A and B are shown apart, each in its own frame.
Chain A
């Protein structure tokens, strides 16, 4: 299995996503938000999923938690979660989305932190109330116990005077604090996997740094695996061990972070990297951007979805056949005809 080589260390990844397809069936047609994404999250490591907005990375996260809302649906693929080494791994994709099994996993074994610190909390309840709730959902502890745990968590994520803050309402906290609280809530049941969806997008630069540090140090302490979703290569560089690059719902390239940054194979990845401001670049040199913009999901181009924007597209090939994710080096994979020939028949 391909992913093996990627995380060479041999011990099986906690989470493996294979050929995940999540589509939205709207009146105006089907939107293939995620269309055959595959990757895996090794224990104690950080996987970064990167891509422009609308590339399907967030839906991937929701799919893993099985909280994709109508009219969206997982149509294909598997999401394998390995619990304690002896236990039988479960395929989340097969579970009943409303069922108890998956609910136990949500927030319990897989926790989510996402980009909207402003609105991710209900303004009607104190943060304490909302964290305590999570704890008591997954663990059989009393109110007082849960409350102490919450205060501990808050302290852990660096909230000053947690015993007072716990009774405050979300809108009384700054964005940074709120994100910390968010993380605290995510950690409240010490999950195996933490999915962080654009955890820092809404924050100012200094706070961003703090939050990222926090995440790293927590991971170091708890040895959980983190899936960090972002459009910001900077964040990836800082956080990720492995990187998955997504475009229009597909994984176009994947590999260890330094491979991706120094030996990117896919034209899209290269383009992405080029668009990061570099201190080595000549002053006032214009920042290169990716030509064109993401096509509307309804009319996704035939063949390689990226070919309309691709500088190196090969007509008759890229616009007919759909490239598959294939190994391009020992630890790196890409889906591009620059590195392999299309299968016989054009696949759509």
Chain B
């Protein structure tokens, strides 16, 4: 080899080195310390005087609204903002991409959980429920509501709203054919009893230690009306409002009239639509903001403060500080990002494209904003999963289910390259296990198990398992018919991470270990329906949400759908019994929630060990700000934490309490 060529290799090597070196220091100046607001439970710190937004006091003077003292519960929820007491008023400008993007609003303005988590997602805090207690074997949970707590229309919020939801909606089979399993243990649903107007009690047939956490997690299916009411869940509902659309309460003729006039397909559709906080301006809510202009007919999507919101700051100023949130429609992500770059948004991480970071930094001054990165704390922003229920091609299915094959592929992918190219070197090559901060962290060795790029080891493994034969172009041959072994790497378009492009690189890398992998981009729904039909060979995705692996289903089991997951969830009734390793993992996952805390932690660790060992999902890169981790914050926006959890469970930025954000004048 010539000197020149050596030199080039040297450059590449330096490149690798520097990139490896960079990822620690790379962008560190954009990553702050975790911080956030504190929920005050100490009665002594309860403010005695209360103030309200000028916008509301005007209405009070006009007599359209009772004074703030009457609107707030007897014991309001006291919150210590992250930095300072804020100023009232202003518009929080954001961008959204369309009807499907109502989660944009649900995440930032939907804090109406029965219980809540602090910003670290470790401590359970009161919220709608002022207090709670569980019996020793975690089968009975008693919650007490706040006295004088009102819906946004001024109607008192009582135990009946919870009972109504539970009995008339949740347990109504026509309305909810498949209710959330989070309210059941071993397939048996809880019973709900109303002790008095301000006290309810959930009882389970078996211990359910995780229940409190379920009720407190912002993403929970059964604890947030604003976030989950639209699909019939949410944990409670405004009985007085919903009843007029419920056949058991409403007059049939009126109901039919409404159905006909609105073009609803049935009463279920009607109630679910009416119970959709993000879209129905008339729906009473407990959340800090309520919808003023629904997205459909209007070019802009506007939320307005809830005058009856239960939260106040430590000086007794009723929250939220910001009067209204205005989301403007961007039909295309490029437009949305360009607007953010132009400084047209006050605070946004949703849809912000990490790959445009250089552009964001370039225009930060002009746009008067700053960039904050929130590296993920779950395992992988990009992982390669092997469809375990794929069956169309026996030979390929065989290899996908072969542990050594999976390990070889995992080692054949160079995460460092992906990190450098697509995550600007901000992440690191790692497996799917969560980061060290996570309670279920299985230990350092598993962070890189089978993920460190090692072509030789990979080739060796493949040769050993009987894929040694290659064709003239160096591609390995199938064992059945001697044809080239060709696998399809299927990726969905239009996600926060550019999976299709990453797939191109991964496919090219796998060529290095003699595997002919064809990247295939699919329209998102097509990709979904293939997963639902077990037609995926290889695919790229992330495992966000697995910070609490027992609380997250989708990204934990994507690779096992549909047959094995059906088997798991139906307790073996339908689907297909998985092979031992998967079976073990699934049993752990199902039983986990019922275990006492410390045992659950152990189970969780074991689960992650199984994941790392068996490589059903091969981690490629993780702990990067790729997903919801790039925040554009206008410099006039106050109380925005330097760093937050980029995390589905806490409905980022939900658990940093946007109601405490404010706009400086």
A–B contact, 8 Å CB criterion (strictly below) = no
